[in-house]
């Protein structure tokens, strides 16, 4: 009976004390939601989205570049000298990093999943692995292009008070204080004399 099928399914799924099927189903659904897996798929979940495929392709190219530049050299290199990796893989890593930043920006503006602004866990983990290899393992660093303007603006702001007080000192008129003595009122004795003359 179709009207009783739901009750039948419910009684079968919750028949054991642990309700293992229900517990596993809830666990997988919560994991899927927490990992934002829908953000890696197309709208109709028929496969990986184009941006995810592009990212994973660049990710694989970056790892291949790392491995290719390390083959046969790790024996001769000191642990902190990976200049070949930094030099030869810089372009691939930069493209991967830029793509990841663009994906993050696009996802914040209007991601495929309505409630989350995060990328799916596969993309985030892949980028975390790459950044860790690039910065910690290979000790590669990309110089920040904004350092010169930041230093210039900071220096300008720090010297503003000095310029202000120096200019106010130089342009202010240094007047000597002239003491003006008040006119003294005549003494009471002279006023009495004047009054006696007129009386």
CA atoms within 13 A on the CB side of 52: 22
The widest CA-to-CA distance across the chain, in whole angstroms, is: 140
Q: What CA–CA distance (Å, rounded) separates 133 from 199? A: 114
8 Å CB contact between 66 and 131: no
Tokens of 55: 């990212």
pLDDT per residue as tens digits for the range 94-109: 999 999 999 998 887 7
At residue 187 the predicted structure's pLDDT band, cuts being 50, 70 and 90, is low
Q: Which residues contact 140 (CB under 8 A, 6 or more apart)?
A: 82, 85, 86, 89, 90, 93, 134
Task: Give the bridge partners for 41, in sequence order.
Answer: 48
Contact 67, 133 (CB under 8 A): no
pTM: 0.60
Given this model, what pLDDT does residue 197 score?
60
Distance CA 40, CA 91 (A): 25
C-alpha–C-alpha distance, residues 132 and 123, integer Å:
14
Find all residues with CB under 8 Å of 63, minimum gap 6, and list them.
130
Residue 32, classed as helix, strand or coil, is helix
Instruction: Kindly report, residue by residue over 97-155, the tens digit of the pLDDT.
Output: 999 999 998 887 765 444 456 889 999 999 999 999 999 999 887 556 677 888 888 88
Residues 56 and 50 sit within 8 Å (Cβ to Cβ): no
Position 6 scores a pLDDT of 62
> What is the Cα–Cα distance from 129 to 63, expressed in whole angstroms?
10
Mention every residue, 6+ apart, whose C-beta is less than 8 A from residue 22: 13, 14
Q: What is the mean pLDDT of residues 58-69?
A: 93
Count how many Cα atoms sit within 13 Å of the Cα of residue 90 in the half-sphere of its side chain: 11
């Amino acid at each position: 009976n179709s009207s009783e099928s739901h009750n039948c399914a419910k009684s079968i799924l919750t028949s054991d004390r642990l309700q293992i099927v229900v517990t596993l189903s809830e666990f997988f659904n919560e994991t899927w939601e927490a990992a934002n897996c829908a953000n890696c798929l197309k709208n109709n979940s028929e496969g990986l989205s184009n941006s995810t495929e592009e990212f994973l392709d660049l990710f694989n190219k970056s790892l291949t570049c790392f491995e290719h530049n390390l083959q046969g050299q790790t024996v001769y290199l000191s642990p902190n000298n990976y200049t070949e990796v930094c030099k030869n893989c810089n372009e691939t890593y930069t493209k991967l990093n830029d793509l990841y930043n663009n994906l993050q920006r696009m996802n914040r503006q209007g991601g495929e999943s309505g409630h989350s602004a995060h990328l799916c866990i596969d993309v985030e983990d892949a980028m975390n692995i790459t950044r860790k290899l690039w910065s910690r393992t290979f000790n590669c660093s990309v110089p920040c292009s904004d350092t010169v303007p930041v230093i210039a603006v900071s220096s300008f702001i720090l010297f503003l008070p000095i310029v202000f007080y120096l200019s106010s000192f130089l342009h202010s008129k240094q007047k000597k204080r002239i003491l003006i003595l008040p006119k003294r009122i005549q003494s009471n004795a002279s006023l009495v004399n004047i009054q006696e003359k007129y009386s």
